[in-house]
Amino acid sequence: MTTILILGAAVWANGPSPTLRRRTAHAAALWQTMPAARLIPCGGLGRHPPTEAAAMQALLIAQGVPPSQITPEDRSTNTLENIRNGARLAWGDDLIIVTDPYHARRALLVARHFGLTARADCPAPLPGQARQRWRDRLALVGYWLRLLAVSRDLDGR
């Protein structure tokens, strides 16, 4: 069974951010090619309600994904938590992580740390994302160091 794990992004005061919308639309299109897949939108409450997971769930349903195929993970606040908490809800062996291209390497690093076999599937990059690419390169180093201190146990024991 395939699980599509959608990593969170901001919810703005006026609704889901463009990044959140783009990731969700990409996951919905991916699901159309494999309708047996389960979707796990990840992300807790940020600065503005609803949770990122709830916002993505509403977008997925609006794009034709049946609610029974969606299992929201609404407690995570960063990439590490998105993947750790989302993986606990995953079904089967095939894990696809949907995020932005500049973020995929860090997401896969975290997944490997937790012993997951995953691949990234990303929407097309937007022009003008140079700042995000540089920010994520720095975050990649920080995450690598952080993962050295984090347990590999998905059950939290």
- Domains defined for the chain, CATH in brackets: 2-147 (3.40.50.620)
CB-CB contact of 102 with 70 (8 Å): no
Alpha-carbon torsion, ordered 111, 91, 20, 116, to 10 deg = 10
Whole-angstrom distance, CA of residue 104 vs CA of residue 86 = 16
Give the phi and the psi of residue 92 in degrees, each rounded to 5.
75, -170
Which two structure tokens, joined as six digits, stand for 135?
Answer: 């920010």
CB-CB contact of 70 with 37 (8 Å): no
Amino acid at 44: G
pLDDT in tens, the chain (157 residues): 999 999 999 999 999 999 999 999 999 999 999 999 999 999 999 999 999 999 999 999 999 999 999 999 999 999 999 999 999 999 888 999 999 988 898 899 899 988 899 999 999 876 665 566 656 666 655 666 666 666 544 444 3
Which two structure tokens, joined as six digits, stand for 122?
Answer: 């990303």
Q: Pick from 147, 25, 134, 125: which is nearest to 78 by CA?
A: 147
